[in-house]
Structure 1
Amino acid sequence: MAAQAPERGGEVRRRLLEAAALLIGERGWTAVSTRVLAERAGVAPGLVHYHFHSLPALLREAAITAMRGVLAEAAPPRPGPGGAPDVLDAFLSVLDRYSGDDPGSLLFIEAYLAATRDGELRAELAGLLAQVRDALAARLAEAGQAEPETTASVLAAALDGLFLHRALNPELTAAAVGPVLRRLITTDGGAEAPEGEPA
């Protein structure tokens, strides 16, 4: 019987984190209360503070956990025969899974906004985004990309901006923005020329 208690505790934590991630996107960061969260997770309100030292700590963990999962989907693969543009295309492929007003997009938006007022969340988000940039830079370097770290930073920021704008302009699909962002990809210090045109 005693062995079941940690398992039940882990299940309660999981339910609270999943419920919090959904509520952040649905209601906004500041509208998630202990009562609403416990109700959504199907647990007693007292369990929120039993498993987490504060509601902000729970919201931070929920957001970072969910965002880490989304960003893992965008992890750039090793470059194929197409080189750096292949890395970019794979990175952009995740864009079309999000409309800008879906729960995942709204979670990102709410977390970024909350991070302007929460130093701990800001530090955690910065670390998470640094991991994404480093992974992208490593793949771009393998593909022979000039200035891979700077290019990775710009591409990651562009993807963030596209997430923000998608709700206002659904035409910002990977197919639409890909050719524009491809112009940032270089292998010889100059812009990659469109097919059939001299570099």
Structure 2
Amino acid sequence: MSATSVERGRDVRRRLLRAAVELIPELGWNAVSTRSVAERAGVTPGLVHYHFSSLQALLREAVVDAMSTELSSVLPALEQAEDLAAGLDMLVSRLDAYDGMDAASLLFVEAYLAATRDEELRERLAAQLGGLRRELAAWLAEHGHGAPAATASILAAAVDGVLLHRALIPDSGAEELAPVLRRLVTSLDEQSG
């Protein structure tokens, strides 16, 4: 295979993944079709199955890659914080970018729902969530928190919960949530000691 055909293949694959990430929030996981992905990517439907074993394999890879990108930005941002309170404030302030109906929020919701019926997707998303929890736990431990693993689990669940609820009740911003989250994390730390 020539370098040009390899590059074209990579480009088609990237376009298919990007099209899937765009279509999942727009249409819903189950409404995305081979044809809709191919049309959005500007390729023939046969290329979807040339690059991926199935439409579900394409959707899985697209969502796992997109979620990995979103989650990978959390720890570097936390590491910029000078202390635990500043890190928690930063984490909560980042939530203001998501209103619950934005593409990233809808992608996460659709992926979580699809994972209830797709064991491979569930395992891959669980691995990502586990990685986030470990990173949060390490960051909490570095800042002297006494129960980093349990707190990281609660913190990740709280962030997910806020994002999920915002689609229905978009009334809580960073200014309201940050003090509550700080008290929760501090309380969990005090109870562990």
> TM above 0.5, one fold?
yes
- Could you state the TM-score of these two structures normalised by the residue count of structure 1? 0.90
How has the CA–CA distance of structure 1 residues 157 and 64 changed in structure 2, closer, same or farther, with 3 Å as cutoff?
Answer: same
- 1:82-161 alignment to 2 at 5 Å? 83-161=83-161
Provide the C-alpha distance between the structure 1 equivalents of 2:40 and 2:188, rounded to a whole number of angstroms: 54
Provide the C-alpha distance between the structure 2 equivalents of 1:187 and 1:36, rounded to a whole number of angstroms: 49
- Structure 2: segments with no counterpart, 5+ residues: none
How has the CA–CA distance of structure 1 residues 11 and 187 changed in structure 2, closer, same or farther, with 3 Å as cutoff?
Answer: same
Query: Which amino acid in the other structure matches residue 97 of structure 1?
Result: A
How has the CA–CA distance of structure 1 residues 80 and 16 changed in structure 2, closer, same or farther, with 3 Å as cutoff?
Answer: closer
Instruction: Report the alpha carbon displacement of residue 92 of structure 1 after superposing the two structures with TM.
Output: 1.9
Provide the C-alpha distance between the structure 2 equivalents of 1:93 and 1:6, rounded to a whole number of angstroms: 42
Is the contact made by 1:144 and 1:187 (CA closer than 8 Å) also made in structure 2?
no
Is the contact made by 1:146 and 1:186 (CA closer than 8 Å) also made in structure 2?
no
- 1:66-81 alignment to 2 at 5 Å? 66-75=66-75, 76-78=77-79, 80-81=81-82
Query: Which amino acid in the other structure matches residue 26 of structure 2?
Result: E
- Structure 1: segments with no counterpart, 5+ residues: 192-199
Query: Which amino acid in the other structure matches residue 22 of structure 2?
Result: L
- Could you state the TM-score of these two structures normalised by the residue count of structure 2? 0.93
Instruction: Report the alpha carbon displacement of residue 91 of structure 1 after superposing the two structures with TM.
Output: 2.0
Query: Which amino acid in the other structure matches residue 141 of structure 1?
Result: A
Deviations 1:70-96 (A, max 9, x none): 112222523744x22122122223211
Identity of aligned residues (%): 56
Is the contact made by 1:87 and 1:140 (CA closer than 8 Å) also made in structure 2?
no
Structure with bigger helix share is 2
How has the CA–CA distance of structure 1 residues 5 and 188 changed in structure 2, closer, same or farther, with 3 Å as cutoff?
Answer: closer
Query: Which amino acid in the other structure matches residue 63 of structure 1?
Result: V
| C-alpha RMSD over aligned residues | 1.8
Q: What is the total number of aligned residue pairs between the two structures?
A: 190
Provide the C-alpha distance between the structure 1 equivalents of 2:81 and 2:50, rounded to a whole number of angstroms: 49
Provide the C-alpha distance between the structure 2 equivalents of 1:43 and 1:2, rounded to a whole number of angstroms: 20
Provide the C-alpha distance between the structure 2 equivalents of 1:87 and 1:95, rounded to a whole number of angstroms: 13
Between 177-186 and 142-151, the greater mean CA deviation after superposition: 177-186
Deviations 1:28-69 (A, max 9, x none): 000000011100110011000000011100000000111111
Is the contact made by 1:137 and 1:149 (CA closer than 8 Å) also made in structure 2?
yes
Is the contact made by 1:74 and 1:93 (CA closer than 8 Å) also made in structure 2?
no
Is the contact made by 1:74 and 1:90 (CA closer than 8 Å) also made in structure 2?
no
Is the contact made by 1:20 and 1:37 (CA closer than 8 Å) also made in structure 2?
yes
Query: Which amino acid in the other structure matches residue 159 of structure 1?
Result: V
Give the equivalent residue in structure 2 for 1:64: 64
